[in-house]
Amino acid sequence: MSIRSRIEQRAFSGDADETVISVMVAADHLDQQLASVISAHGLTPDQYNVLRILRGVHPDGHPRHEIARRMIHRAPDVTRMLDRLVNRKLITRVRDPGDARLSVARITPAGLALLRRIDPEVEEAQRKATAMLSPAERKELARLCDRLVT
């Protein structure tokens, strides 16, 4: 089914309109595929993203503003999201010794273990979601998306 028929669009106002709508619909479709896997583990996609960000710098951490800058979706209340992850013991937050105004979040062993459990399921969902594309098409799509945001 084409995106045009999925959203019951007779015509687009131009190439740019069709491109933007197509990317948005495709992104929403992929978000839904991954969200179902992630939510089965009691996380929101944004919480999962935070854990992945912190795993990427483990054993170091990031202050809240750096986590917010690196997130896929701009989240309005990163502080509250971090507090929830602290309550679940998936991350810790400690004051930065160089700047007492900042706290640095770090992923815990429990957070790393949760990601290890989720990783194979996420990878499988990603494989299924992109199975209709060849490896060259996947690379090209990633390249084109990079061009849209740079």
Share of the chain above pLDDT 70, in %: 93
Which segments of the chain does DSSP mark as H helices, in order?
Answer: 3-6, 15-39, 45-57, 64-70, 78-87, 109-129, 135-149
Q: What is the model's pLDDT at position 3? A: 67
Q: What is the model's pLDDT at position 5? A: 62
Give the chain's residues under pLDDT 50: none
Burial class (CB in 10 A: 0-12, 13-18, 19+), 34: middle
Q: What is the model's pLDDT at position 4? A: 62
**Contact predicate 100/62, CB 8 Å:** no
